[in-house]
Structure 1
Amino acid sequence: MRFLKSFYIHNSFFWYIAILSACFVFSFWFTVLYPIAWLLTMLLAALFFFDCYLLYATEGIFANRHLPQKLSNSDLNPIAIEFETRYPFKTFISIIDELPVQFQKRDFEYSSSLLKGEKQVFDYTVRPVDRGEYVFGNLNIFASSPLKIVKRRYIFQNDQMVPVYPSIIQMQQYDFLAISNRLSEIGLKKIRRIGHTQEFEQIKEYVPGDDFRTINWKATAKQQHLMVNQYQDERSQPIYSILDTGRVMKMPFNELKLLDYAINATLAFSNVALKRNDKTGMISFSKNIETFVPAIQKLTHLNTIMEKLYNITTEFTDSDFGLLYAHIKRKVTHRSLLLLYTNFEHISALKRQLPFLMAIAKKHVLVVIFFENTELEQLIATDAEDIQTIYHKTIAEKFSLEKKLMQKELQKHGIQTILTKPNELTINTINKYLEIKARGLI
């Protein structure tokens, strides 16, 4: 049974059979072909058994699939397959990797050829769009000799499980830049400093945009050019990322739910805040308070946040903002920066929750983050060519205007807002954080 499970006929064999069949058919008219056809048949039979001997005389193929310990959600994750041959002849191989069912890809195949004793590495990428456990099935390698009559199937590494976590790659992208204060290099706008604390850090050369009130005249006289005192931002301030896991966050964008964008942004932002010595925590809620992680200033605290984010799922219910207000009032006792990731499609939905948001904003610095509907923006940008398209554009412009009105309504009540495209969420969130820190609002 083991032999039968590994034994396959090569596609070329059927071409050989077709040629033999044609010879027998034409021998009806050309009798000289009849003995030639039988001679070719016996030769093919001999080569068939010889090919089986070549492939099964020894274990000739060895392969290994290299998977990372964790896959990063919404990112291209590299996977490597290393393989080698120990056959004493040129080997033709076909690799079929059984990808996790979440990818819904059933046409994965890679073909190559190996010389005697040669090693090769095949790299490919996968992009998961859901968090959870991903199980890779068999790594199948079909080997054939230069005769290409039969194929032998090799199976390696069955059922390898890899968890898919929030975007670790995105978090690492901002990690080094956060340490070196170079966040503006990846498109984050530079925030002009409006105020500062009195914690002295260093004396540096004056650059346009520095507060002229911080000029150090003694150092300026010594160096013969303007020098200014630089002050540190106040540190160890509590910051909470609040995730709405209700049905409004199930809306998809580029195969990813809005909640997953918020989760990826929370992880990247928490890492940046911790590197800048602030305390970070997290709350997720819908009908109930599902997760509460108190704000702590430890780099190891990021692992706790990551594990909590890994297990968050969206619900199909409306979220209870009144419950959120009560929980914050009870558990978050110090003035904090609260980043609320949610979404409002209609201004009436915002007005229902506005009293609770205003109550939260009285004690804390609240930033409400919600999303632009990018499909509507694309529809608005297209030219209208008929009456139906005009109707669609008019309705789309109405919904787009409502988003801007909601932003104005929140700002009117002293609530900070971010209206962003899903793919720009992380950048805009860190921008707002830097702006609030520079302005000394917390």
Structure 2
Amino acid sequence: MLLAAVLADALRVPGSGQIGVERHVPTRLGLGASAEVTLRVRNDAAYPVQLQLTDDLPPELVRKGADTLQARVPAHRSVDLSYAVCAERRGDWTVGDLHLRRLGPLGLLWHQRRIALSNPVRVQPGLLDVRRYRLLGLRDRHSLGARSARQRGEGLSFESLREYVPGDDPRRIDWKATARRGAATVRQFEAERSQNVLLMIDAGRLMSERIGGRERLDHALAAALLLADVAGKHGDRVGAFVFADRVQRFLPPARTPLARLADALGGTEARPVEPDYPGAFTFLAGQLRKRSLLVLFTDVIDPDASAALVGHLAAAARRHLPLVVALRNPELESAAVAPVQGEADVFTRAAAEELLGARSVALAAMHRAGVLVADTRPSDAVPVVVNRYLEVKQRGLL
């Protein structure tokens, strides 16, 4: 009797043509962002069906909640199901086949079927920070850490007078206003627009180091994209230059849509090689004629590589305005001050102190060469970079 019941249950399981599934997956996600995957399940059978559904997900898209969805679909009806995924790594990934299990009408037998589906997903860097910054608006940027600054600079249209601060161009001092006010006063102008900003992304060995659950390179790309968005809104042209031991990608400064920049940078991977700074700056010398803000995302540890970088930055500063965003490792800083409890700790602490000392020497040399430096933890890179850009515009440094 039981065998007959099982056989009858198996024969009454709806055919493959009676159960249909449509799946929608966002084609683009920002790194660290969550998104909803939706499934529409259609039952063309004359009786309700009990289903279990599981998608083949790449490990780079982490599912939130249970791996399997449960649904009871009435006869000749459809139901919508959904679950959330979080993008954990940049790149191009695919949500693959769907595994469907159907319970027979008598509840005795599950029938399994694989439905061939394929949904490509591109995980891009920094889009979550860009959207967050846009939502904050000019009035509320302080919660992200960025200052609100009007577009002032060294343009042709006079705007206002203000008190002199160290670092202002002496040529902007208004001597009549200074005498009248009894304090050094400078002229401010509307910020010049259509200036060049080039995002220089070091994709060498140090950029693969994981800090706060993300590669140093991911932090750099997030800050770079947000800077591109802000600079574009200030009327500037933005380009991108990715290099390691060779040039990987170059987009000349232009009014480039942010989505195109995100696509261009999304596939960037750090390589286990030392960056070729001489080759990178030689390449740029042949590409950039107009004075530009060169924003280099990197870090400096090796003394020889640092010396080469300082020399090329100093040479570039004769035509351009270099800004080095040095993304330091908090774990290295902690190791340099950690309590010493054994012989191994002595060597670890000494090595960390030596590396940090070499780093400080390199950054100081950049300062002396007239290079702007933003020394920041990766987690703070977004507001720090935006603030330095706004400072450059406000003070007319470019």
What corresponds to 1:150 in structure 2? Answer: 109
Distance 1:103 1:269 in 2: 27
Question: Which segment drifts farther, 339-348 or 394-403?
Answer: 394-403
Contact 1:241 1:338 in 2 (8 A): yes
Contact 1:248 1:343 in 2 (8 A): yes
Distance 2:149 2:300 in 1: 28
Distance 1:230 1:331 in 2: 32
What corresponds to 1:288 in structure 2? Answer: 246
Q: How does 1:80-99 map to 2 (within 5 A)?
A: 80-85=38-43, 91-99=49-57
Distance 1:325 1:241 in 2: 13
Distance 1:192 1:377 in 2: 36
Distance 1:61 1:411 in 2: 67
What corresponds to 1:415 in structure 2? Answer: 371
**Structure 1, residues 15-44: CA drift from partner, whole Å, max 9, x if none?**
xxxxxxxxxxxxxxxxxxxxxxxxxxx2x2
**Structure 1, residues 214-243: CA drift from partner, whole Å, max 9, x if none?**
9xxxxxxxxxxxxxx996322111111112
| RMSD over aligned Cα atoms | 3.6
1:161 matches 2:120:
yes
Deviation at 1:190, TM superposition (A): 5.3
1:345 matches 2:305:
no
Distance 1:395 1:108 in 2: 45
Distance 2:197 2:233 in 1: 13
Shift of the 316–113 alpha-carbon distance from structure 1 to 2, 3 Å rule, reads closer
Q: Secondary structure at the match of 2:390?
A: helix
The count of corresponding residues between Structure 1 and Structure 2 is: 373
Percent of counterpart pairs with the same letter?
22
Q: Secondary structure at the match of 2:317?
A: helix
Aligned mate of 2:209, from 251, 256, 270: 251
Shift of the 314–385 alpha-carbon distance from structure 1 to 2, 3 Å rule, reads closer
Residue type at the aligned position of 2:362:
M
Residue type at the aligned position of 1:45:
L
Contact 1:74 1:256 in 2 (8 A): no
Aligned mate of 2:129, from 128, 148, 170: 170
Distance 1:341 1:68 in 2: 30
Shift of the 74–82 alpha-carbon distance from structure 1 to 2, 3 Å rule, reads same
Contact 1:94 1:109 in 2 (8 A): no
Aligned mate of 1:240, from 198, 218, 222: 198
Q: How does 1:99-110 map to 2 (within 5 A)?
A: 99-100=57-58, 102=60, 109-110=67-68
Long gaps (5+) in structure 2:
166-172, 175-186
Long gaps (5+) in structure 1:
1-41, 215-228
1:279 matches 2:231:
no
What corresponds to 1:68 in structure 2? Answer: 26
Distance 2:45 2:159 in 1: 67
Q: Which structure: greater strand fraction? A: 2
What corresponds to 1:360 in structure 2? Answer: 316
Residue type at the aligned position of 2:205:
R
Question: Which segment drifts farther, 426-435 or 108-117?
Answer: 108-117
Distance 2:107 2:386 in 1: 58
Distance 1:390 1:429 in 2: 36
Contact 1:130 1:256 in 2 (8 A): no
Give the TM-score normalised by the residue count of structure 1: 0.72
Structure of higher CA gyration radius: 1
Distance 1:112 1:421 in 2: 44
1:134 matches 2:93:
yes
Q: Secondary structure at the match of 1:435?
A: helix
Deviation at 1:394, TM superposition (A): 4.3
**Structure 1, residues 360-386: CA drift from partner, whole Å, max 9, x if none?**
112211011222113224445765555
Q: Secondary structure at the match of 2:286?
A: helix
Shift of the 115–64 alpha-carbon distance from structure 1 to 2, 3 Å rule, reads closer
Deviation at 1:337, TM superposition (A): 0.8
Contact 1:249 1:342 in 2 (8 A): yes
Deviation at 1:416, TM superposition (A): 0.8
The structure, 1 or 2, with the larger RCO (C-alpha pairs under 8 Å, 6+ apart) is 2
Shift of the 295–181 alpha-carbon distance from structure 1 to 2, 3 Å rule, reads farther
Contact 1:244 1:284 in 2 (8 A): yes
Contact 2:129 2:222 in 1 (8 A): yes
Deviation at 1:290, TM superposition (A): 3.2
Residue type at the aligned position of 1:127:
A
Shift of the 374–86 alpha-carbon distance from structure 1 to 2, 3 Å rule, reads farther
Contact 1:175 1:271 in 2 (8 A): no
Contact 1:96 1:108 in 2 (8 A): no
